[in-house]
Amino acid sequence: MDVDKIRGYSRAKLRAPWRGLQAGSDGGFPSGRAFEHLLVRAFQLDGAHVEWPYEVESPLHQIDGVVHFAGLALLLEAKHWDGNVDFAPIAKLAAHLRRRPANTMGIVFSARRFTDPARESVLLSGSCQILLWEGAEIDWAMSKQGGFTTGLVTKYRQAVKLGVPDYNIVLGGP
């Protein structure tokens, strides 16, 4: 199935591939691509200006998407792994951010969760330039009109207020 189809999906239509991804099916999409496109489309439906996944220099330097909303500019890194996401994608995104203007932020999305060492590494880095977003939060945002942009603004405000990159929009805390 062609990932470009996702670009035309409504919010209701996005829920089916999201449920499939949660159940472990890629729905016939190329590996990892459905998750990236699904997230970018969800932000677009919420009124954000988006850039779709693209390559910088080579396939090894792919950007999974860009979101511009409420004065924020964010690079996306999306991981649909069978297990919890470790620190490697966070480090990769941090390297991409070093090549961007200082006010550029990032979000790492995990279809599941993050490992404790990954969370601790982000906390110990002393920077809230990268926000963490987990599967249950994606589920929450997917079920609400404006959920992704509302979640983004909430995560950003809590990062500023509390200095935490992993504020959970479902549970109301880190």
pLDDT digits (tens, 9 = 90+) for 4-25: 788 899 999 999 889 988 888 7
What pLDDT, on the 0 to 100 scale, is given for residue 59? 56
Tell whether 171 is covered by a domain. no
Which CATH number covers residue 118?
Answer: 3.40.91.70
Note down the domain range covering 30. 3-162
Tell me the pLDDT tens digit for each residue of 126-139.
Answer: 778 999 999 999 99
Q: What is the rounded distance in angstroms from the CA atom of residue 135 to the CA atom of residue 109?
A: 8
Q: How many CB atoms lie within 10 A of CB 15?
A: 16
pTM exceeds 0.85, yes or no: yes
Q: What is the rounded distance in angstroms from the CA atom of residue 77 to the CA atom of residue 63?
A: 7
Identify the CA nearest to 6 among candidates 65, 72, 86.
65
Say if residues 84 and 112 touch (Cβ distance below 8 Å).
yes
| DSSP 3-state of 139 | helix
Say if residues 90 and 119 touch (Cβ distance below 8 Å).
no
Tell whether 138 is covered by a domain. yes
Tell me the pLDDT tens digit for each residue of 71-123.
Answer: 999 999 999 998 999 999 999 999 999 999 999 999 999 999 999 999 998 88
What pLDDT, on the 0 to 100 scale, is given for residue 5? 85
What pLDDT, on the 0 to 100 scale, is given for residue 169? 97
What pLDDT, on the 0 to 100 scale, is given for residue 125? 79
Q: Can you tell me the mean pLDDT for 30-48?
A: 92
Tell whether 39 is covered by a domain. yes
